[in-house]
Amino acid sequence: GTYFRVTTFGESHGGGVGCVIDGCPPRRRLSEPDLQAELNRRRTGQEGRTTTNRNETDTCRILSGVTDGVTTGTPILIFVPNTEKSRHDYNEMSMVYRPSHADATYDMKYGVRAVEGGGRASARETVGRVAAGAVAKKILKELSGTEIIGFASQVHDVVIPEGMVDYNCLTQDEVDRSVVRCPVPEYEEKMMAAIDTVHAVGDSIGGVVTCIIKNCPRGLGSPVFDKLEAELAKALMSIPASKGFHIGSGFAGTFLTGSQHNDPFFVDKDGRIRTRTNQSGGIQGGISNGEVIVMRVAFKPIATIGRKQQTVTRDKREVELKALDCHDPCVVPRAVPIVEAMVSLVLVDQLMAQHGQCNLFPINQDLQEPIQFPALV
């Protein structure tokens, strides 16, 4: 972000992980339990089935930027100590490039890398994102009643049919009730079965997280390089294992004609300009139009699997690799709060940008003389 600026730090096996948030609005109530709730969501939804069994408790501490329970506007430091101190035996790993991991590319880029725990590529880096996202989420809720809700809409070949989830009614509770974060019970069972099956054979599967934004203020985003969908795409494609991003109709929209795809405008009973359909996914010309924003993110099957794989070592010997400890067979359930966090960070940054530029002058006051094309929204 440019205004709400987040830096994450830490590695899986260093002293801890966390983030620094610079530019947070002052005078907002904020406490560790606010963050802990989201951090816990990131850890759960697993029950020995879908995710790794690390014993990290992820207990966060706010070390600066909050006084007497209120944000001061100065940098907020959130720190989550690593509790699992034992040094894993990564000797084997240290020389072998795990297929489709970042081991080889880190060496290509930096000429050196932290071997323990995957360094920055570790999923544990996302703790800082979720903590910062929790702050953003709270601000959005309080300021404009904006809610960001993600859910598993696909796990491997189990796909919730289009239209089965009513975005206007969906709540986060409905999602969190489900172990795999699927709000449709019938499909939840199928997803869990798919995960169990692949887990049994030491393999992994991917899927799709759908994320919606309800009550998104109109006017967020900008017209050219920093379109709202471009910022969202960048944020979501920065999550480990993501392979694709759709806004609104996405790739399916390429099979429609313009007359099918265009969203007709109408005036609703409250006098607001709305669209009858939402192929645009809540964004037109790079700017939010007040409809529900709908995104989908593809996650590949996680790269660490329990089966033998062909690979090479750092010194270019060809070897076979078989992972010792068992990771997530499916990352999708745990990706949900990370997707929500990244979306929240983008939105709060855009909201601040919009407020700074377009609300600097009160909208009613600065158009005293008639101008030719006044806004009537």
Q: Which of residues 304-363 bind its own copies (CB under 8 A)?
A: 304-305, 307, 309-312, 314-316, 318, 351-361, 363
How many C-beta atoms lie closer than 10 Å to residue 304's C-beta? 19
Q: Convert 180-196 to b/e letters by CB count within 10 Å (16 or more is b).
A: bbbbbeebbebbbebbe
Candidate residues 15, 53, 83, 177; the one interacting with its own copies per rule CB under 8 A = 15
> What gap in Å lies between CA 220 and CA 353, rounded to an integer?
8
Q: What interhelical angle do 332-358 and 126-144 show, nearest 10?
A: 50
145/177 with CB nearer its own copies: 145
- The set of residues, in sequence order, having a beta carbon less than 8 Å from that of 361 and lying 6+ positions away, is none
In angstroms, give the least distance from the CB of 33 to its own copies. 17
1/172 with CB nearer its own copies: 1
71 phi and psi angles, rounded to 5 deg: -70, 140
Instruction: From residue 11, give the alpha-carbon distance in Å to each of 128, 267, 339.
Output: 11, 52, 20
Site for its own copies in 18-77 (CB under 8 A): 20, 22-28, 61, 63-65, 67-75, 77
- The verdict on 240 binding its own copies (CB under 8 A) reads yes
Segment contacting its own copies by CB under 8 A, of 43-51, 152-160, 168-176, 185-193: 152-160
> What gap in Å lies between CA 350 and CA 219, rounded to an integer?
9
- The set of residues, in sequence order, having a beta carbon less than 8 Å from that of 251 and lying 6+ positions away, is none
Candidate residues 177, 185, 243, 325; the one interacting with its own copies per rule CB under 8 A = 243
Candidate residues 55, 255, 269, 270; the one interacting with its own copies per rule CB under 8 A = 255
Site for its own copies in 287-306 (CB under 8 A): 287-290, 298-305
Tell me 29's DSSP state.
B
Which structure tokens are listed for 131? 């903590």
Candidate residues 164, 193, 256, 324; the one interacting with its own copies per rule CB under 8 A = 256
Candidate residues 40, 44, 57, 284; the one interacting with its own copies per rule CB under 8 A = 284
Tell me 15's DSSP state.
S
Candidate residues 154, 178, 210, 344; the one interacting with its own copies per rule CB under 8 A = 154
Site for its own copies in 160-199 (CB under 8 A): 198
Candidate residues 39, 60, 102, 131; the one interacting with its own copies per rule CB under 8 A = 102
Candidate residues 47, 53, 108, 324; the one interacting with its own copies per rule CB under 8 A = 108
Q: Which residue carries 């720190």 as its tokens?
A: 79
Q: How many residues bind its own copies (CB under 8 A)?
A: 169
Candidate residues 53, 105, 171, 215; the one interacting with its own copies per rule CB under 8 A = 105
